[in-house]
Chains A and B, each alone.
Chain A
Amino acid sequence: MHIHRLEKIWLIIGVAMLVIFLGVLGVGAFAMGMQPPTGEHTIDPEKVSETYPFNNPGLEQIGDNEYNAYMVAFAFGFKPAKMEIPLGAKVHFQVTSPDVVHGFQITGTTVNLMAVPGEVNHYTYTFDKPGEYLVLCNEYCGAGHEFMATTIIVK
């Protein structure tokens, strides 16, 4: 099959860029630890409020300025409703839902997780800037979806 000389060059350049680009993504993800959120961690959605750690959602210190943040996204709000995080803290978020699918997004950060019933989603973020961060649900979850939000205060 004949391929035009210019088309060959065009495709070679395109594929080379693709390989470099995917390489950068792969190194970022697997060598530098910038993975998308995930978790091999299941939970019974009907028993979220009785299951550790979501029976007591909130911040738990696990090291020097390092915390686990257990959050429940429900129709239509977040537990805990208010959270204060010390400046510079490394926070391991664990998020789940007792009802439908929700989103857990903190605007201005890379925190953007799906809260899926039956699963616990994990993501780590370090808060380097002080402020009042907006937490919102970015997956349609019902009539009150647009009211589903809270704030995290970093100071």
Chain B
Amino acid sequence: MPFDRKDGKLVIAHMVVAFTALLIGVICGLLQGLVRGGVIELPAGIGYYQVLTVHGTLLALIFTTYFIIGFIYAGLNKTMGKLIGIVKRLGWAGFWLMTVGTVIAAVMILADEATVLYTFYAPMKASPWFYIGLALVVVGTWLSGWGVFAQYRYWRKTNKGKTTPLFAFMAVATFLLWQIATLGVAITVLFQFIPWSFGWVETINVMVSRTLFWYFGHPLVYFWLMPAYMCWYICIPKIIGGKIFSDSMARLAFVLFVIFSIPVGFHHQLMEPGIAPIWKYIQVVLTFAVVVPSLMTAFAMFATFEQTGRAKGARGLFGWLKKLPWGDVRFFAPFMGMLIFIPAGAGGMINASNQMNAIVHNTLWVVGHFHLTVATTVALTFFGVAYWLIPHVLHRRLTPKLNRLGIIQTVLWVIGMIFMSGAMHITGLMGAPRRTAFTTYQDHPDAAAWGPYYVLLAIGGTILFIAGVLMFLNFIMLLRAPKAGEGGAAAEFPIGETADEAEPTPRWLERWGVWVGIVVVLVLFAYTIPFGDMLIDPAPGSKPWVTW
């Protein structure tokens, strides 16, 4: 049965913005890599930091958010039936608010009124309209999230006593995390940045704004990751011809992600004054608790692979590896993402290691790290999803030619990333700072030693640019893929089934009130005293600065 046309329009609208952002983002990425490598200088008064602001905002915030909403809305339709009226209205309202916000912010960045990078640290002051644009994007995502909740409630009301679909459960967990996390950034933008940038108040409390930002900033990365995990847990088993390893463990993992990705923002502020060491350490411990659901996810993935392979007759310790569909981009792209997540996760543990953070903080190492996590693990999984999601929604076919282009795209992306991220990790350990245009630091020998790696970085960035453009072209071809019919069936939306021997999913997993309660308790525990200190005995505030 073809995908509902009206629901499909909403999904495709999100995808078009996502992949347009991807294209512009990788063009900016290429420019940065070449400037940083000392290969070119930017013409016509375009600033390196302006390009960097565009790159970060479009790829980290816009590409991811639009893709996630499109993917999740499509999955809601697939697992819970046609979107009800209010959900569609919320989805469109969210889409337009986000898009208007994005355009406002983009105009400000292009006008060089907001060259503050996508972290917009105070007291650097962008145009107030930049912050208003950001606020609209956030409010838009809230509306989209409420749509997810509304569809879920409607399903539960009309399917009393039944276990909710795993996809729906995970979608709710993802947007619950998002609602709780974005409170931080919404508070700092609405109550600190906007009044201060308009000049209604003279000063801003910098530490309060940074703390609120990072309360949001870490769960943000889980907002990117959880939809990728949804593909791994739900879609990948079906694609490889297997079963979901354990429905209840998958749900438990998602609950743990919601709980342990929020009260941990200080691990981004380990090198900062104004926060007592004990509170930094407590949040470091909470940060590492997220290892538990990560290990659960890794186990579930490889258990599914092995069980599927053995069911297909694989023998020996690793014989099942040969039974995996390596030539199928729907599997291959997300799998490469999973593989990269092993070094990416290990690097993340180094970053969060309290005093050890001093070795890598604000160096290129960190940039290398998140180009593995979000720009490889998450991005490749999303690309892998696009190859079936877009033709499925449009009732079209994923042709062998498109599949092959997808494999090539994935290989190019991985090779480019190994060069670029590898060079970033190495130079980072040698002390090269992140977010810094080309410089030799007056020919200091330490900086000279980074030079050869910068060349590798530029080469990797160029390969990634080619791979990014190819992905955009693939996206266009997916939109125009041959219609389903005599040539073959439409691409499938793969929804895995639970293994037969699995026990029924326990009811308590769906007690959202309890999970939110635990999050609130942990947030109060981790933040009340250190954040209270910043408010009760505030440091003198800062006036606005425009330094670019």
CB distance from A25 to the nearest CB of B (A): 5
Check B123–A140 contact: CB distance below 8 A: no
Say whether, besides A3-B249, A99-B547, A145-B437, A134 and B444 are in contact (CB < 8 Å). yes
Interface residues of A in 63-122 (CB under 8 A from B): 75-76, 99-101, 103, 105, 107-108, 110-114, 116-122
B contact residues around A52 at 8 Å (CB): none
A contact residues around B285 at 8 Å (CB): 22
Is A46's beta carbon under 8 Å from chain B? Answer: yes
Check B358–A121 contact: CB distance below 8 A: no
Other-chain contact of B433, A100, A103, A121 (Cβ < 8 Å): A103
Is B540's beta carbon under 8 Å from chain A? Answer: yes
Other-chain contact of A40, B276, B361, B548 (Cβ < 8 Å): B276
Say whether, besides A143-B49, A143-B548, A42 and B539 are in contact (CB < 8 Å). yes
Check B545–A139 contact: CB distance below 8 A: no
CB distance from A33 to the nearest CB of B (A): 10
Interface centre among A30, A36, A117, A137 (most CB of B within 10 A): A36
B contact residues around A2 at 8 Å (CB): 246, 248, 502-503
User: How many of chain A's residues have a CB under 8 angstroms from any CB in B?
Assistant: 68
Say whether, besides A1-B248, A37-B271, A38-B274, A108 and B446 are in contact (CB < 8 Å). yes
Check B272–A116 contact: CB distance below 8 A: yes
Say whether, besides A101-B206, A140-B435, A143-B548, A46 and B273 are in contact (CB < 8 Å). no
Check B281–A26 contact: CB distance below 8 A: yes
CB distance from A9 to the nearest CB of B (A): 10
Check A118–B548 contact: CB distance below 8 A: no
Check A25–B355 contact: CB distance below 8 A: yes
A contact residues around B121 at 8 Å (CB): 100-101, 139
Is A130's beta carbon under 8 Å from chain B? Answer: no
Interface centre among A2, A100, A121, A149 (most CB of B within 10 A): A100
Chain B interface size band reads 35 or more
Interface residues of B in 280-315 (CB under 8 A from A): 280-281, 284-285, 288, 291-292, 295-296, 299, 303
How far apart are the CA atoms of A69 and B348 in the complex, in Å? 32
Say whether, besides A11-B295, A108-B431, A36 and B357 are in contact (CB < 8 Å). yes
Say whether, besides A22-B288, A38-B274, A142-B548, A105 and B357 are in contact (CB < 8 Å). no
How far apart are the CA atoms of A141 and B206 in the complex, in Å? 14
Interface centre among B246, B296, B299 (most CB of A within 10 A): B299
Is A129's beta carbon under 8 Å from chain B? Answer: no
CB distance from B133 to the nearest CB of A (A): 20
Residue of B nearest to A103 (CB): B362
How far apart are the CA atoms of A110 and B506 in the complex, in Å? 49
How far apart are the CA atoms of A72 and B495 in the complex, in Å? 58
Check B444–A36 contact: CB distance below 8 A: no
Complex interface bits, B508-548 against A, C-beta within 8 A gives 1, otherwise 0 = 00000000000000000000000000000101111101011
B contact residues around A18 at 8 Å (CB): 288, 291
Interface residues of A in 6-44 (CB under 8 A from B): 6-7, 10-11, 14-15, 18, 21-22, 25-26, 28-30, 34-44
Say whether, besides A22-B288, A116-B206, A46 and B539 are in contact (CB < 8 Å). no
Complex interface bits, B441-460 against A, C-beta within 8 A gives 1, otherwise 0 = 11010110000000000000
How far apart are the CA atoms of A141 and B299 in the complex, in Å? 43
How far apart are the CA atoms of A105 and B285 in the complex, in Å? 26
Residue of B nearest to A149 (CB): B441
Is A151's beta carbon under 8 Å from chain B? Answer: yes
Check A4–B442 contact: CB distance below 8 A: no
Check A114–B539 contact: CB distance below 8 A: no
Check B362–A37 contact: CB distance below 8 A: no
Other-chain contact of B284, A14, A22, A146 (Cβ < 8 Å): A22
How far apart are the CA atoms of A140 and B117 in the complex, in Å? 8
Check B354–A138 contact: CB distance below 8 A: no
Complex interface bits, A122-148 against B, C-beta within 8 A gives 1, otherwise 0 = 100000000010101111111111110
A contact residues around B502 at 8 Å (CB): 2
Other-chain contact of A105, B210, B303, B353, B362 (Cβ < 8 Å): B362
Residue of A nearest to B269 (CB): A114
Check A40–B274 contact: CB distance below 8 A: yes
Check B431–A105 contact: CB distance below 8 A: yes
Residue of A nearest to B447 (CB): A134
How far apart are the CA atoms of A120 and B272 in the complex, in Å? 9
Other-chain contact of B291, A4, A14, A38, A151 (Cβ < 8 Å): A14
Check A118–B206 contact: CB distance below 8 A: yes
Check A112–B206 contact: CB distance below 8 A: no
A contact residues around B296 at 8 Å (CB): 7, 11
Check B439–A7 contact: CB distance below 8 A: no
B contact residues around A141 at 8 Å (CB): 124, 547
How far apart are the CA atoms of A3 and B251 in the complex, in Å? 13
Check B362–A142 contact: CB distance below 8 A: no
Check A138–B363 contact: CB distance below 8 A: yes
A contact residues around B442 at 8 Å (CB): 149
Other-chain contact of A112, B52, B271, B353 (Cβ < 8 Å): B271
Check B433–A138 contact: CB distance below 8 A: yes
Check B436–A37 contact: CB distance below 8 A: no
Is B143's beta carbon under 8 Å from chain A? Answer: no
- What are 11 A-B pairs at a CB distance below 8 A? A1-B249, A1-B252, A2-B503, A6-B303, A25-B281, A36-B358, A38-B277, A108-B446, A110-B359, A134-B446, A142-B545
> Considering the complex of A and B, which 7 residue pairs feature the smallest CB-CB distances, nearest first?
A142-B547, A107-B431, A118-B539, A138-B433, A138-B362, A121-B273, A146-B439
Residues of B within 8 A of A (CB): 47, 49, 52, 117, 121-124, 205-207, 210, 246, 248-249, 252, 269-277, 280-281, 284-285, 288, 291-292, 295-296, 299, 303, 353-359, 361-363, 430-431, 433-439, 441-442, 444, 446-447, 502-503, 506, 537, 539-543, 545, 547-548
Residues of A within 8 A of B (CB): 1-4, 6-7, 10-11, 14-15, 18, 21-22, 25-26, 28-30, 34-46, 75-76, 99-101, 103, 105, 107-108, 110-114, 116-122, 132, 134, 136-147, 149, 151
With A112-B361, A114-B273 already in contact, 9 other A-B pairs whose C-beta atoms are closer than 8 Å: A4-B299, A18-B291, A36-B277, A36-B354, A40-B274, A107-B447, A110-B355, A116-B273, A118-B205
